[in-house]
Amino acid sequence: MSDTIVDPMDDGALRQGSLEIRLAGSDAEVRAAQALRFRVFYEEMAARPSPAMLLAGLDFDEFDPICDHLLVFDHSRGSGADAVIGTYRLIRRDAAARAGRFYSSDEYDIAPLVDYPGEVLELGRSCVDVGYRNRPTMQLLWRGIAAYVFRHDIALMFGCASLPGTDTRLLADQLTYLHHNHLAPPHLRVRALPDRRIDMAILDPATIDPRAAINLLPPLIKGYLRLGGFVGDGAVIDEQFNTTDVCVVVKTDLVTDKYYRHYERRNRDGTLV
């Protein structure tokens, strides 16, 4: 596990004011990420922890020891666990091989992605402390992911993204919009496992307001869509986390293109933009 995330054409870590983003470099930093996940998922969002998680005050599973943990630190809060205010879990193909599967395979048939040529990256367990859900933090998270994608030559990234709640009647506009406007092409179209699949085409698309549906989507899903992301066929109810999940697939062309443009501008005018 590497303990740094840097701009791929720069030796400096990624920072913005008092915020810094890098990979966890110790077990203590992984535990800090797990503690943040516990606070957000179980205390704030009313997910259902196992007895062991409740006792430890940590969100954890068998994937944590084999993946990379992307962390955002606010150094104004010190240098310990309290400084961790955002996290993302990153699982590449070799890590999934050690675990025996990708996390998303519990909900989706991801064979088209597993068979995709080149390196693939599964994103998951994303959360940000309630006091930091703002543009600077999200921009730094995306910069960290972009740097990771660039460094490891990731061709495709994917993961389960969540809509709050498990009543699909209340999510019908969003799910219908995603199905009819952002369904993945056949060669990238993962499918919800048959015993868990919820049809996303709940309403007649002519009856929904696309702009209103987009506004109702969680910021994370909107971010994926801005990168040209697609969704798989079917949603899945996650009772433990009190969410309705969709599988998002993003080809990384736009991510790396943005990085190239970034460095072309910097090299042209000598400024970091």
Give the domain CATH number at 234.
Answer: 3.40.630.30
Q: What is the per-residue pLDDT for 130?
A: 93
Any alpha helices (H) in the chain, and if so which ranges?
27-37, 51-56, 93-99, 111-114, 135-151, 172-182, 210-216, 219-226, 253-269
Examine residue 7 and state whether it is found in any structural domain, yes or no. Answer: no
Examine residue 142 and state whether it is found in any structural domain, yes or no. Answer: yes
Examine residue 238 and state whether it is found in any structural domain, yes or no. Answer: yes
pLDDT in tens, 29-76: 999 999 999 999 999 998 999 999 999 999 999 999 999 999 999 999
Residue 265 has pLDDT above 50, yes or no: no
Find the largest Cα–Cα distance for the chain: 56
- pTM, entire model: 0.88
Q: What is the per-residue pLDDT for 272?
A: 31
Which string of DSSP letters, residue by residue, matches 169-223? TTTHHHHHHHHHHHBPPGGG--EE-TTTEE-S--S-GGGS-HHHHHHHS-HHHHH
Alpha-carbon span 117 to 155, nearest angstrom? 8
Q: How many CB atoms lie within 10 A of CB 216?
A: 15
Examine residue 180 and state whether it is found in any structural domain, yes or no. Answer: yes
Examine residue 115 and state whether it is found in any structural domain, yes or no. Answer: yes
Q: With pLDDT > 70 as the criterion, what percentage of the chain qualifies?
A: 88
Examine residue 9 and state whether it is found in any structural domain, yes or no. Answer: no
pLDDT bucket at 5, cuts 50 / 70 / 90:
low
**How many domains are there within the chain?**
1
Domain ranges, residue 172: 14-269
Examine residue 2 and state whether it is found in any structural domain, yes or no. Answer: no
Examine residue 30 and state whether it is found in any structural domain, yes or no. Answer: yes
Measured at the CA of 269, the angle between CA 265 and CA 270, to 5 degrees, comes to 100
